[in-house]
Amino acid sequence: MPNPRAILDHAHTHHYGVPAMCCYNLEGILATVRAAEAKRSPAMILLFPWAVHYANGLLVHAAAEAASTASVPIAVHMDHAQTPEIIRRAADIGGFDGIMVDMSHYEKEENLKLTRELVAYCHERGIATEAEPGRIEGGEDGVADTADLEGMLTTPEESEEFVATGIDWLAPAFGNVHGEYGPRGIQLEYDRLLSIREKVGDRVRLVLHGADPFDKEIFQKCIECGVSKININKVLNNEFVRVWGEKAGKAPLTSVIEEATDAMQKAVEKCINRVIAGYCRLHTPTPDLTLRTAKESMNNPFTL
């Protein structure tokens, strides 16, 4: 199985972002894997806790199977796990390479306490962890909207506190928003993001949330400031909804499913073009991204 830490370590070393696609169905999973293989790019399949509640692990295991048989490194990650119960369940169910321990709806001290405990639980099972200091406003499917909790941006000092919990990846709040950005538009504080990167150094990798409306220029600025993992949701899933709305009931069901998957794959490929930007194309055979560290297994982005 791919080592998600090694995947992000390589992205950090060679200055590109790993596309992490939010998937809700088999079509999204297949689209992500096929796009990554077509572009010779690493990728991540993100599943919300909903996937576990809805199908009791079936979708998780489908994603894990697709990732393990792909010809490029792909990891499966649970995004925004917001209760200790779902985190433990996800860690025990098998199939997840990483879990976001999202206790951001708690006050900071409780957030830190729970994060430390749950990170240890995940690490004991070989699972990488992500956490969110500050509060990235807005909500996504099945994830609590934190806009009613006073929106707070992450400080370098706060980042240090979260690194001390043992997390592998940090998702800072620097003006990014889950869902729609509203009339004020996109207002990112790159100086804040860079100062966080300088504070945490090489101890953790940075994750970008709320990236759906971003263009290539914004992605590159975020990567220059240290981002290694880029979460994408609507860009992928809106294509499924579009094709389904246009073709359902007008064409054979299998044709609609295949067309939706193809459209989603093209959307993922476009995302890869924006966040990889020519810095990484995986050759065949692909690198050893399993149990070895990034330093041991990867040297050149063009011979990855």
The residues annotated as belonging to the active site are: 79
Q: How far apart are CA 148 and CA 272, in angstroms?
A: 33
3-class DSSP assignment, residue 74: strand
53 known member of a binding site:
no
Residue with the two structure tokens 């830190």 = 112
14 known member of a binding site:
no
Q: Alpha carbon of 42 to those of 10, 13, 79, 106, 166: distances in Å?
A: 10, 14, 18, 33, 25
Residue with the two structure tokens 């041991």 = 296
Q: Which residue in 228, 296, 288, 258 sits closest to 77, CA to CA? A: 228
Q: Which residue in 178, 83, 84, 170 sits closest to 136, CA to CA? A: 178
Q: How far apart are CA 35 and CA 17, in angstroms?
A: 15
For 52, the token pair is 């576990």
150 known member of a binding site:
no
CB atoms within 10 A of CB 188: 18
Which residues, listed in sequence order, are joined to residue 101 by a DSSP beta bridge?
81
209 known member of a binding site:
yes
Q: How far apart are CA 3 and CA 67, in angstroms?
A: 11
107 known member of a binding site:
no
What DSSP assignment string belongs to 65-131? HHHHTSSS-EEEEEEEE-SHHHHHHHHHHS--SEEEE--TTS-HHHHHHHHHHHHHHHHTTT-EEEE
Binding-site residues from annotation for Zn(2+): 80, 102, 132, 178, 209
Binding-site residues from annotation: 80, 102, 132, 178, 209
